[in-house]
Amino acid sequence: MKKFLAAAMISASFFITGCGGQMQIGCVDGTRIMNESAQIKSVMDEAKQKIEEVEKQAQDELAKNPNWTDEEKMKAQGDIQRKVIGINQAYATQLKHKFDEALAEIAKTKNLDVVVDSSKDNPIILKGGVDVTDEVLQKLK
């Protein structure tokens, strides 16, 4: 699906720029960004800490209430799951925003029409393109 979307974006860009236009394609290794960016790691560590806090609070609550019925335990587990999902969504949004902001600034500076993911585990672009991974990492220090 990801490859289809990238191909559609590139095709649309050709249509918009016209057949004779020069289109600039950039690529970024999203996996490398996730693994090497200090800002990204910081946000992920903070999210992990928040989740651990929620789980610790849940364990404490369960320990304080050993006589809970199965129904009460299931309700507590559902509450914990909702909290964890909420934390994950909030931090995923924050990560996406940081990444998108850095990438947009670099794409504008380099006059790139399209930027696609070139992660080694699931590349969209196989040859060519301007690799902006290092610049994104610089922005996310």
Q: What is the pTM of this model?
A: 0.68
Residue 24 has pLDDT above 60, yes or no: yes
Contacts of 106 (CB under 8 A, 6+ apart): 26, 112, 132, 135, 136, 139
Q: What would the mean pLDDT of 94-123 be, rounded to a whole number?
A: 87
Per DSSP, which regions of the chain are E strands? 25-28, 114-117, 130-131
What is the pLDDT confidence band of residue 17, given thresholds at 50, 70 and 90?
Answer: very low
